[in-house]
Structure 1
Amino acid sequence: MTTTAVSPDPRHVNPDPFLTAKEAAAYLNVSLRTVWTLRQYGDIKATKIGRLARFRRSELDRYTGATERRADDTAEDPLLTIPEAATYLSIKERQVRNLQYARELHVERVRGRVLLRRSELERYAARTTAHPVER
């Protein structure tokens, strides 16, 4: 008695399968530790199935597309730390933080770090020099 392999019905093949963390690491070409770090920081989402975490291939594709776009944006408009922003504006770090708290400067948070776009600093500098304070 011989058994023949039956090819799966294309209507029943999942186009967006769940991957284990190990499979996700291989798919992204990163280490297993990096996959868990990305999940911890919320860069990629995982679905819990019982006690196990699984990653959708579409979610991994979304992440890789997002990082490519972010790299392109950053090349044209770099993100600066608060000390770098203070140097760029020729003011003290404390003044940059005060502008952040007063919502004069829009900041971005990337993995817990506060960063400012150089274009945002240029806009702020243009606003403040366009209307000098009379004394």
Structure 2
Amino acid sequence: MLPNFTNYTPGRVARYAESFCRTKTIAHIAAEACTSKKHYAQKRGESVAGKYKYLDFKDRKQIATWYLSGDRPADIAERLGVTPATVYRELKRGATGELDRNQRAEYNPVLAQQTVQASFKRRGRSAAEAGESETGGINSDRV
């Protein structure tokens, strides 16, 4: 609702109009929300054009270490330079069905790596592209 401008001086109307123009519109808020992907890419030092990366076994071991120490998935994502959704998907991928010492779903990086490799195999990617060598020959039997 606009105020009654009959008692306002021209300078006061100008200040009101200036402050009104500074407020954010829904379009501005939506535009800022869309920059979140750009934000994560810039934090990693990548171009904003959209460079995607796969998590490797080293990243999965880091996620397991930080998650077990009680860190939030959003904090883990920031450290790795990925979106929180990536970490949540990774935690779901490596879930064992048990609870860890923090009473959260237990995460096993070996299980997650095997799941990714099986997915790549189903899609027809070669073992080298799937990162098979990054597991260091670790089998779930030995864990």
TM-score range, shorter chain: under 0.3
- The structure in which a higher percent of residues are helix is 2
**TM-score with structure 2 setting the length:** 0.26
**TM-score with structure 1 setting the length:** 0.27
- The structure in which a higher percent of residues are strand is 1
